[in-house]
Amino acid sequence: MRLKKMLAGLLSVAMLVSAVPVAVSAEADDAITFGVICSITGNFPLAGENTQKGVNLALKEINEAGGVLGKELKVSFQDDQGNQTGGMNAVNRLISEKVVAIIGPNMSSNVIAMSDVVASSKMPTLVGGTSPKIEDLGNEYIFRIRPSDNITASAAAQFMCEEQGVKKLGLIYNTDDFGTGAKGVIEEYLADKDVELIAEGVNSGDTDLSGQITKMMAEDVEGMIYWGHDAEVAILARQVNELGLEIPIVTSGSLPQVVSAIDGTYIDGWYVALDECMNEPRKEIEDFVEAYKKEYEDSMPELYAAAFYGATKLLADAIERAGSTDSEAICKALKETKDFPGIIGAYNYQENHDMLSNCSIMQYDVDKNEIFVSNITVE
């Protein structure tokens, strides 16, 4: 009997060791490989799918234009399953594959989790996590290619107070890092202003927000900000309409993710504060939208596709400018980035490792058209 179990134990070790040859040697001579971490499975698969589309399109264009440093640019996608363990495994796998740089993840908690590994392996990492906590890390190898929540949330509050003249502001925020981070920023923005804030939390996975909405109605708020995720914003839109709350509403970038799933009458006149509106009359965006539609059967690109398309282009440009795939050289090139025309804005390196400091406000009409409202730069 014991012998059998010993055999089983040996088998397990053999299995562990045999896992080694699965490692794909990324460092081929004729190609430069970078890694992308995104949520392919798990609770946020949509972001991962769009990230892949954006990166693949950028990759195709770069390689058609002759690649980087005369070599072909390749990508290795890794799934973080939307959780921390998955994220850590993904980043370690990419490091062991010896990729030149990493793009992603877009979950802030995963960015924080992998910060130490990234720093100790000196891996240039272009992250999409928007939590203000990321700049507190002070990690020399992490560059943020999307506007921080500090910027979008502050812009949303600024828009509500200055352009809508709201004196009593409601806030429904997700209780995770995304929502609570924004809550802090909005509180800070309102600190020296004569505006009252009524804040209510919502959990990921909640299926009924009528409690929060009734609270807002009871408090007679004049305008409302929603800062949370996709599934809940769809419910919010329906219930706000059913309960008859008729005030200006600004949501986080989650609304566009589910707009296909929401009845147009629900969100008529709603505002969204997000990285970029795909209808802004700007040349880079128009070119990108056209290329994207051509590649993906006429579907309109969204935030993640645009952000990570831009990030891929930025990375390629940085490698080209660095003249090598050495990590320090790439980081140096990234730090020298000035007015690089990304899709969601011009990339400029800042002291806090943010590459962007502006975001857009857009509005939906009843036919779910996205109307560009304004572009707000936050100091």
- For the segment 74-133, give every residue that binds another protein (CB under 8 A): 77-79, 82-85, 88-89, 92-93, 95-96, 108-109, 112-113, 115-117, 121, 131, 133
With tokens 């986080």, the residue in question is 252
**Does position 367 bind another protein by CB under 8 A?**
no
**Does position 327 bind another protein by CB under 8 A?**
no
- The nearer residue to another protein, 49 or 187, going by C-beta atoms, is 49
CB proximity list for 358: less than 8 A, separation 6 or greater:
147, 151, 345, 375, 376, 377, 378
Measure the CA–CA gap between 212 and 51, rounded to whole angstroms. 32
Q: What is the dihedral of CA 239, 245, 264, 298, to 10 degrees?
A: -90
**Sole window of 147-155, 211-219, 280-288, 329-337 interacting with another protein (rule: CB under 8 A):** 211-219
**Which residues ranging from 227 to 286 are in contact with another protein (CB under 8 A)?**
230-231, 234-235, 238, 241-244, 257-258, 260-265
With tokens 């109307």, the residue in question is 371
Which residues does residue 199 pair with via DSSP β-bridges, in sequence order? 171
Q: How far is the CB of 176 from another protein (least distance, A)?
A: 3
Return the residue of 15, 298, 338, 367 that touches another protein, per CB under 8 A: 15
**Does position 181 bind another protein by CB under 8 A?**
yes
Nearest to 23 by CA among 92, 82, 81, 74: 92
**Which residues ranging from 132 to 151 are in contact with another protein (CB under 8 A)?**
133
Give pairs for 45-48: CB < 8 Å, separation 24+.
Answer: 45/82, 46/230, 46/257, 47/106, 47/257, 47/304, 48/79
Tell me how many residues contact another protein (CB under 8 A): 88
Q: How far is the CB of 270 from another protein (least distance, A)?
A: 15
Q: 364, 267 in Cβ contact below 8 A? A: yes
Q: How far is the CB of 139 from another protein (least distance, A)?
A: 12
- The nearer residue to another protein, 297 or 351, going by C-beta atoms, is 297
Site string (33-62) toward another protein, x via CB under 8 A: -------xx-x-xx-xx-------------
Return the residue of 163, 196, 206, 222 that touches another protein, per CB under 8 A: 206
The edge-to-edge listing of strands for the beta sheet with 370-377 is: 196-202, 168-174, 223-227, 249-251, 271-274, 358-364, 370-377
